[in-house]
Amino acid sequence: MNRRRKIYEGKAKVLYEGPEPGTLIQHFKDDATAGNGAKHEIIDGKGVLNNRISEFIFTKLNGLGIPTHFLRRVNMREQLIREVEIIPIEVVIRNVAAGSLCKRLGLEPGTQLPRSIIEFYYKDDALGDPMVSEEHITAFGWANPQELDDIMALAVRVNDFLTGLFMGVGIQLVDFKIECGRLYEGDLMRIVLADEISPDNCRLWDVKTRNKLDKDRFREDLGGLVDAYREVAQRLGILVEAENALTTGPRLVQ
Ligand code: TMP
């Protein structure tokens, strides 16, 4: 029985009230959606893998002094996070042309971009998360200029770290999406990385085979999504062989 107070339910995660004020529990579901929810499937084991992969990345980022909402993983599907005020902007960082950028500009997928490009999308399902500029963000007050500078600096640092992390295990970081929040500590406020970083919100290509190891496997009906996510986790050293059973066999209830 689940008596916790649900704060918010998204497409892939649920947020519950945390054990202490200012904390939340972030629960990873097995739901996969694409096309703003038009396509929806339950993919057994996805939530467990994303929880582990995101824990691994956020722990490393915290260790580098890049501020995040992450405190610790509490079980197979859940992590303890700090409560932040989410900024309603999806920040996409691109290193290689793929996805909507190719459609918009007629680029060949896989084209190396002249430099990393940051894009912003306004988080609004009813509007289909439209792309917006810095002007829109500051004019409508979704974030002020200083906050936007902090968000972009954070995005660049995360990109530098992730590019190296994945390249070290034979994976090219094509692009990814992050979300940021305002963390209030007394009179102080700072911008921190929120949400998750997992193969659900990155494009990850195997350097040798060009195989897709991310959610495009679901978007493009390629199959093998959990195997691909498990491959990412194994290469990062998160999952050892014996632990595979945890994502495929009987569920461990915690
Ligand atoms: P896009 O090419 O579809 O614009 O996606 C760019 C990156 O952002 C890709 O890694 C997938 C990620 N993304 C999300 O995580 N959530 C979203 O709603 C969208 C549109 C993209």
Give the DSSP per-residue string, 38-54: TEEEE-TTHHHHHHHHH
Q: Does the beta carbon of 230 lie inside 6 Å of ligand 1?
A: no
Query: From atom 14 of ligand 1, which residue's Cα is the shortest distance away?
Result: 201
Q: Does the beta carbon of 203 lie inside 6 Å of ligand 1?
A: yes
152 contacts 186 by C-beta, under 8 angstroms? no
The per-residue pLDDT for 243 is 65
The per-residue pLDDT for 246 is 53
Task: Take residue 73 and report the two structure tokens written for it.
Answer: 């993983």
Distance between CA 152 and CA 41 in Å, rounded?
33
Domain residue ranges of the chain, discontinuous segments joined by + = 85-206
Q: Does the beta carbon of 95 lie inside 6 Å of ligand 1?
A: no
Confidence bin at 253 (pLDDT 50/70/90): very low
- In percent, the amount of the chain with pLDDT more than 90 equals 91
Q: Which of 113, 110, 114 is nearest to 98 (CA)?
A: 110
Q: Does the beta carbon of 176 lie inside 6 Å of ligand 1?
A: yes
Which atom of ligand 1 lies at the shortest distance from residue 200's CA? 15
The per-residue pLDDT for 254 is 46
Q: Does the beta carbon of 99 lie inside 6 Å of ligand 1?
A: yes
Q: Is 134 helix (H, G, I), strand (E, B) or coil?
A: helix
- Name 174's Cβ contacts closer than 8 Å, sequence gap at least 6: 94, 95, 96, 98, 202, 203, 204, 205
The answer on pLDDT for 244 being more than 80 is no
Which atom of ligand 1 lies at the shortest distance from residue 215's CA? 11
SS3 content of the chain, % helix, strand, coil (to 5): 30, 35, 35
Which atom of ligand 1 lies at the shortest distance from residue 101's CA? 2
R_g (Cα) of the chain, nearest Å: 18
Query: From atom 15 of ligand 1, which residue's Cα is the shortest distance away?
Result: 201
Distance between CA 103 and CA 90 in Å, rounded?
19
Identify the bridge partners of residue 173 per DSSP, sorted by sequence position. 204
The per-residue pLDDT for 247 is 54
CATH of domain 85-206: 3.30.470.20
* β strands within the chain, DSSP E: 6-9, 13-17, 23-28, 31-34, 39-42, 70-73, 78-82, 85-86, 89-96, 112-122, 131-132, 171-185, 188-194, 202-206
The per-residue pLDDT for 248 is 56
Q: Which of 149, 211, 222, 169 is nearest to 53 (CA)?
A: 169
Q: What is the pLDDT of residues 156-188, one digit of tens each?
A: 999 999 999 999 999 999 999 999 999 999 999
Identify the bridge partners of residue 131 per DSSP, sorted by sequence position. 121
Query: From atom 11 of ligand 1, which residue's Cα is the shortest distance away?
Result: 201
Substitution candidate for ligand 1 out of 39, 95, 122, 175 with most atoms within 8 A of CB: 175
* Average pLDDT of the residues in 189-217: 98
Q: Is 190 helix (H, G, I), strand (E, B) or coil?
A: strand
